[in-house]
Structure 1
């Protein structure tokens, strides 16, 4: 399975530009004078992380008080640990829930320090997303409001309650409308509070919308089947997946769950059995999902609807009116082949679309109905409640406010002044409302337009519950007393509606006692205690039944084709697509530095959004990477730097949502540009496609903080890749004695040491890793890794101990739908394959870093780990120079005690967010992956206290634990029955740069793609 392909990290490496060559002559980014660091303003990144966290508002003096108080009044029972008061040095784990996912919260000395997935969770089964990992930091954010506000000034809860109740009474008497605007709510208790509030104030209407809308799918299901629900997709039951712009592994609906499902059909067992699923992706911008597809076909935004029409025609043998070919031979051929594959896999196939257009989703329903997907790969009987928004309701609210019909409006987890497509119109209409209340924990864009701000608790301070999917209920419980003078939004509504139950904890208990506990076979106090230990209840699924699609599609097809024609770009115009990326997402977490510095999955850009354009299109427009351009669409203009993106469809431009915040906090303010105004209300839903004009602005180029080409392997063999067909053929030859395993002869220059008990190693399956980056954030949180900011990343000084390398390659062999032909470096950049590779310290047995360290700061342990002794390190950087994997990081600044950074300090309590089990490093030492040695020691100690041997799986690395794809496996190589030993025995296993005889301790499993060939 040796690969003859050429793999390259970015266009600089492919073209071997002079700038790239010059940068890679220097092993290290040179230091800058401290005066230059101190001259930086705002969030340039010149302040390194430990001071950086202080400067941007993550100093947490108030937390010390909250953490030192006794546990919450209503005792929260630690997960699997006997309830007890805080014991110094001993961690407690509490169950909770994040966006419907069951999680565990690790606390030390009364303060939360880490979030991990609950193994029993329906979605990730122990894995969680980067946003869930990073959400911990919001608890310690001093940008949060410290208490209630009225008319822009501080107030107390009692006067605020009196004012709001008096206003509501007056509004009720006047007959004016009351509106409660929220993002999707699936909490049974919260919905109960809203119902009780509406009963007290009968003119109340609950308006639900989502910044990234799924109204199109919900309304299409209503129109097609009479069920206004978001389906529960089951990619683990699909042999063939065809997606049209749905980034279901990156940001679409339930990406952690879909990742876990997707990988079950593509892991070692699926590959060996030859039953690996096949994934075909049609899209304009290169998404995380598209980059993982077996076959990816770039098509224009205007062609996505037409491609679906043609797919329907091929599957059903009919011809909808107005149908025509795309005029793209590769895409037309792929649609024909995909239709044959789908038809052959009836009942085991699924087609999804990322469009929010109702007509497009109705057509998708028709295709899936013809394929027998309902009741199998698509479940309408156990729907998802993660998104329930109705775009039309929010538009209607603006008109109601303009007319003066609304007397009061409340905003809960909603920020329409930022993310509504006509934000200025919304803000102007809001001024006509008498009582404007926001429950935002920050003085965000919408809160700043309100006369009352009643700041909500952080979810780690709260009681609550969630019901993200039919039959799956999760509990939220507090892990710390409120840090600031905030109050649960639901409790405020209870107080203002004169509810007999004033305490939200009691309301939650009543909700569960009156029905939910019984659904899970529990009851009374014992049932509640069990719930506090487990964190969730699973009710047996309802039988998923097929549904019949009987709508006439002629008018639907005409609507789709007409919309496509409107999106066709003319001369000098591009087709614009806005999307939600894998790091900052919809912008809710824009003030989180862990997420801002997480490289976006495909582009590897941090701290910015950009205009992604195909290299061929850029050449036609005389644009280069970093050029600043003005994009105008739907009456809105903004300026963004150009990023040349291989795989981008020609004639299109993609821009990420979630940036351009003005009142996010000290981290998020002014980062990137707002793309929400590019949205338009089309056919009753918010849609992010438009025709855009592009204007080059000239001037200096913008240097994006992009991490991908920080270092080079100088053309060495790093990635191994094959096709399922080739793999099965070679496996069959080996089974019949026709193949030989390649063995590389190695030489030892010194005596090897025995490892009688433990030999810690790792296996990483490239077929399972999707490149999402959750492991990067988990490692940051666990190991106190610095955030350095935009400018330091530009200087190649990011401090991540694990990185996800992204490699491009051309399809140079195999008769695929992209056809065999001579490679044109611009034309064929549209058709590239992408492979992701997690890269961290390989813990080599013949570690080249160890032999060059003059002070023995890096040494080898008797358990196979490459260790760092920080107080020995004097910063020679010889080890980094000698490391072939370039996984060592040098910290240039002392972020704790350097008086020259005092201008950035706010208080002295940033330590409270750090893991006390991990040494904090000072200026001038090397940092790298330690294989979470603190977890290894804790696991061994726990087994010793229980007087038993250490079991396989007792110890999980932070990166391993968060991965919902189970791509990373850690364990003891000496145990032949361990999961890692079995993984490393796979015939797909190889070791990166093993020809150097460094004997790495991490084995990778070869990437396998199930190509769609003309013979398939």
Structure 2
């Protein structure tokens, strides 16, 4: 099946463009002249390399002091008297919470260095996102505020408290309004503190505002069922999943949780039982979820509402007024066929929509109710608390400020000057507010116009709790003392409201003692200590009820159709614009994190920028080439103003014609040196329509004449047409489980040029399931955090010098009428490049038993171990790069600069402050050496040592790689192939297993499982 299918990494490779051919004649990127090296050129103009991340603001003094104290700390303890729980060289782990997920924080000598998922986390079962993995780095950002500020100058907490309390007292007496503006809060303790503050100042109102809103779902459920909540979705209970623009594997609501659910009916265990769900995605731009779908249907934003109306008609057998064909032949056909599949999966079907429009979400509710989804795939009783923003309330708040009705505003984890579609309106309105307080822990666009800055602790320094899903309560505890003179926001509110409880730790403790411990059958000091070891309590789920829909949909349909008309682009230079969140930066709050900025976007593989993704067909018609900079102008119907930005174009196969897609979260002006000025801000493109903020609009574009090179990683190596990716269909797999895996072809059937190695006790290998890998990139950041992999910056990525030890290769292939296009088919014969399929493949050192790199190394810097691992002895390496030249997988990285050790280049991208995030168990590499995946050798040794200390054999699962541990879908499994009962041994025996470039006889130690798609040829 598909053995002649053609795959390519980018259009440069597909079209064999001269520049691409020329670059790939050379195995290595061109060197930088030494004078440029010494002058610091290459990343940020002429900034000296030793000062780059120092200039970016990651630097140590206060952290060292904080790390050297006992955690949690109640008094200062000299380190000469060793804290009982701190043993030099031995890691401590603390339970905590990030983004609603129970996590474990690894500390060494009192400093947090790594975040891991709690394996008992109810949501993701130990999986974590790239954002969570990168969160530890933000602790060491010395752009964080060092102390409170008053009227733009440094202040003290006593001065701040005196000033704020005096102002609040006067405002309370005067009777004007006080507003507390926050992003979603699901912490029981924080909500209680806010309630106490409101009791003290009754003219206060708490307004919840999320940069990326889900108000549409909340209001639709209020309208449909009288429950103003976001449901808890169960993708694992669905046999047929239909998504309209909801990137639930990428950024929508709870992606780390949804990934684990989604793969349950698609991974190895499910396939072994000959069962696989079907996933159909209707969308505009190529999202992570769409690229993983079995079938992907292109629709414009203006067509989404009508497609939902037609789906409702097809499912229910009725006809809503105004219904008509889309005019999109493939989408019209797909809607009818999808409706039949949904009805056949009654009770095991799920339809989701990423729109924030209330009317569309009401229609989705009606479809799901008709399909019997409530009580099975949708749970309204054990609902989500992850997003609770109210767009209309926030808009009313802006009006209140403009009318001069508000005298005090407090901002907590909220930055509306940047995130609101009209930041200037916020600035102007705030001029009329007497007291403006922000709890921002670092300077942002809103904090610079506040007269009081009361910097909050970072979450790794804080006490707290969370309640992301109803009945699931997690705890937050500090893993280090406060690095700077910050104070928890809740503590500040308690002080200003004259709370009788003197510190927030006691407040949190009281909340758990009085209410939450009992929910987990715990009580008292022992119960609290048990909580601090487990990290959460879980109440038994309520029975999920079924809900019927009985609302009149005629008006809803008309609203949807009218909105579709307003979104239609009219004229040659107009395009429909779709805004989305990138996997790395999400809403932009973490823009100053270099690990996230350098994480390649899963689909485009662009780093350090946002861009305008455009269909190849549209680009050809307009005469554009990749990198051409265009002006994008959007008129705001709310205030008749226009907003224009200039962005480079990215040619994106699979983009709907007549549309462009742009990522939110870029264009920060007060983010810190890493994120400041990176990309352009497109929040002003949002529109406030029918009570919610909408992410679709119409733009006029024009050329600027400029062209820039985007920092992409994908096309830095060519596969030269080799058989690297293998996939099949579920239909073929059921007939023959070894379909397209190579059948019985194994290592020993090839002639060997090397002698075999013996592995008397351990043979460490890995299995990677391409059906489970979504390409999310969490493993890339986890590897960087675990193995001290440096950031190199935009210009070095352009020079093909990124240092990631593991990369996620994205491959396109043609699909036309559901059939593959063979290599002989000329591209000119195709209608367009819209109908492409995507496969993701994690690629890292394959730890070959017959490693060609070992053969050519003149100094034995790379050698083979008796346990099957390809080692690197960095102090032997002289940088000949023969090994990289001889590696067929192109997984070796050459250190161009001394990111860590040479005094001339020290602090280039990691400085004295950020050195504290380094893993002391892993050597930092120096200039002129090769490096690559070490199979986390430090974790292997630690696992063996622990088993030895406990006087027991090493058990399967005792050792997990960093990439494996964070993967939300368990796509990566590591273990001992010498143990026939190990999980990895069982997986490698699967009929789907194949080895990349096995025909070379290098005996790679990583086996891949063939990608299986549950496609329907009639839908494609």
TM-score using structure 2 length: 0.96
Report the equivalent of 1:580: 581
Residue 529 of structure 1: SS of its match in structure 2? Answer: helix
How does 1:719-758 map onto structure 2 within 5 Å?
719-731=725-737, 741-743=744-746, 745-758=749-762
Structure 2 gap segments, 5+ residues each? 77-81, 636-641
How does 1:211-290 map onto structure 2 within 5 Å?
211-290=211-290
Aligned-pair distance for 1:481? 0.4
Residue 407 of structure 1: SS of its match in structure 2? Answer: strand
Alignment pair present for 1:706 and 2:712: yes
Residue 716 of structure 2: SS of its match in structure 1? Answer: coil
Aligned-pair distance for 1:910? 3.4
How does 1:550-629 map onto structure 2 within 5 Å?
550-571=550-571, 572-629=573-630
Q: Provide closer, same or farther for how the CA distance between residues 465 and 44 of structure 1 changes in structure 2, counting only shifts above 3 A.
A: same
Q: Provide closer, same or farther for how the CA distance between residues 708 and 977 of structure 1 changes in structure 2, counting only shifts above 3 A.
A: same
Q: Would you say the 8 A contact 1:583–1:595 is kept in 2?
A: yes
Report the equivalent of 2:677: 670
How does 1:295-334 map onto structure 2 within 5 Å?
295-334=295-334
Whole-angstrom CA distance in 1 between matches of 2:83 and 2:313 = 62
Residue 410 of structure 1: SS of its match in structure 2? Answer: strand
Q: Would you say the 8 A contact 1:809–1:833 is kept in 2?
A: yes
Q: Provide closer, same or farther for how the CA distance between residues 40 and 644 of structure 1 changes in structure 2, counting only shifts above 3 A.
A: farther
How does 1:451-850 map onto structure 2 within 5 Å?
451-571=451-571, 572-634=573-635, 635-699=642-706, 701-731=707-737, 741-743=744-746, 745-811=749-815, 814=818, 824=828, 827-850=831-854
Range that drifts further, 442-451 or 29-38: 29-38
Residue 465 of structure 1: SS of its match in structure 2? Answer: strand
- Describe the superposition over 1:963-1015 as per-residue Cα deviations: whole angstroms up to 9, x where unpaired: 01000000000111100000000000000000100100000000000002339
Alignment pair present for 1:878 and 2:885: no
Whole-angstrom CA distance in 2 between matches of 1:566 and 1:829 = 28
Aligned-pair distance for 1:34? 4.2
Range that drifts further, 740-749 or 547-556: 740-749
Residue 334 of structure 1: SS of its match in structure 2? Answer: helix
Residue 122 of structure 1: SS of its match in structure 2? Answer: coil
How does 1:911-926 map onto structure 2 within 5 Å?
911-926=915-930
Report the equivalent of 2:946: 942
Aligned-pair distance for 1:272? 2.4
Whole-angstrom CA distance in 2 between matches of 1:384 and 1:70 = 36
Residue 492 of structure 2: SS of its match in structure 1? Answer: helix
Residue 715 of structure 2: SS of its match in structure 1? Answer: coil
Aligned-pair distance for 1:740? 6.3
- Describe the superposition over 1:508-563 as per-residue Cα deviations: whole angstroms up to 9, x where unpaired: 00101111111111111111011000001111000000011101111100100110
Whole-angstrom CA distance in 2 between matches of 1:45 and 1:984 = 49
Whole-angstrom CA distance in 2 between matches of 1:274 and 1:322 = 42
Whole-angstrom CA distance in 2 between matches of 1:926 and 1:481 = 37
Alignment pair present for 1:1004 and 2:980: no
Q: Would you say the 8 A contact 2:381–2:544 is kept in 1?
A: yes
Q: Would you say the 8 A contact 1:48–1:787 is kept in 2?
A: no
2:934 to 925, 930, 933: 930
Range that drifts further, 822-831 or 475-484: 822-831
Instruction: Please tell me the root mean square deviation across aligned C-alpha atoms, in Å.
Output: 2.1
Whole-angstrom CA distance in 2 between matches of 1:988 and 1:6 = 20
Aligned-pair distance for 1:901? 4.5
Aligned-pair distance for 1:49? 8.6
Q: Would you say the 8 A contact 2:305–2:564 is kept in 1?
A: yes
Report the equivalent of 2:863: 859
Q: Would you say the 8 A contact 2:117–2:966 is kept in 1?
A: yes
Q: Provide closer, same or farther for how the CA distance between residues 586 and 945 of structure 1 changes in structure 2, counting only shifts above 3 A.
A: same
Q: Would you say the 8 A contact 1:61–1:907 is kept in 2?
A: no
Residue 359 of structure 2: SS of its match in structure 1? Answer: helix
Alignment pair present for 1:386 and 2:393: no
Range that drifts further, 945-954 or 744-753: 744-753
Whole-angstrom CA distance in 2 between matches of 1:48 and 1:270 = 54
Report the equivalent of 1:10: 10
Whole-angstrom CA distance in 2 between matches of 1:266 and 1:903 = 45
Residue 697 of structure 1: SS of its match in structure 2? Answer: strand
Aligned-pair distance for 1:733? 10
Q: Would you say the 8 A contact 2:592–2:675 is kept in 1?
A: yes
Count how many residue pairs are aligned between Structure 1 and Structure 2: 1004
Whole-angstrom CA distance in 2 between matches of 1:1015 and 1:135 = 41
Whole-angstrom CA distance in 2 between matches of 1:96 and 1:45 = 40
Q: Provide closer, same or farther for how the CA distance between residues 36 and 96 of structure 1 changes in structure 2, counting only shifts above 3 A.
A: same
Whole-angstrom CA distance in 2 between matches of 1:730 and 1:778 = 36
Whole-angstrom CA distance in 1 between matches of 2:731 and 2:406 = 64
Aligned-pair distance for 1:52? 4.0
Whole-angstrom CA distance in 1 between matches of 2:469 and 2:853 = 50
Q: Would you say the 8 A contact 1:816–1:1014 is kept in 2?
A: no
Q: Would you say the 8 A contact 2:790–2:899 is kept in 1?
A: no
Whole-angstrom CA distance in 1 between matches of 2:300 and 2:168 = 51
How does 1:901-912 map onto structure 2 within 5 Å?
901=905, 908-912=912-916
Structure 1 gap segments, 5+ residues each? 77-81
Q: Provide closer, same or farther for how the CA distance between residues 663 and 872 of structure 1 changes in structure 2, counting only shifts above 3 A.
A: same
Aligned-pair distance for 1:822? 8.7
Whole-angstrom CA distance in 2 between matches of 1:390 and 1:1015 = 38
Alignment pair present for 1:181 and 2:185: no
Q: Provide closer, same or farther for how the CA distance between residues 45 and 224 of structure 1 changes in structure 2, counting only shifts above 3 A.
A: farther
Report the equivalent of 2:154: 154
How does 1:51-90 map onto structure 2 within 5 Å?
52-73=52-73, 84-90=84-90
Aligned-pair distance for 1:748? 2.7
Whole-angstrom CA distance in 2 between matches of 1:728 and 1:686 = 45
Residue 514 of structure 2: SS of its match in structure 1? Answer: helix
- Describe the superposition over 1:460-496 as per-residue Cα deviations: whole angstroms up to 9, x where unpaired: 0000000000011100000000000000000000000
Range that drifts further, 515-524 or 49-58: 49-58
Q: Would you say the 8 A contact 2:754–2:850 is kept in 1?
A: no
Q: Provide closer, same or farther for how the CA distance between residues 680 and 18 of structure 1 changes in structure 2, counting only shifts above 3 A.
A: same
- Describe the superposition over 1:11-42 as per-residue Cα deviations: whole angstroms up to 9, x where unpaired: 10110100110110111111212443565689
Q: Would you say the 8 A contact 1:57–1:906 is kept in 2?
A: no
Q: Provide closer, same or farther for how the CA distance between residues 862 and 2 of structure 1 changes in structure 2, counting only shifts above 3 A.
A: farther
Whole-angstrom CA distance in 2 between matches of 1:348 and 1:317 = 20
Aligned-pair distance for 1:44? 3.2
- Describe the superposition over 1:855-907 as per-residue Cα deviations: whole angstroms up to 9, x where unpaired: 00000000000000000000000000000000000010113454544796997
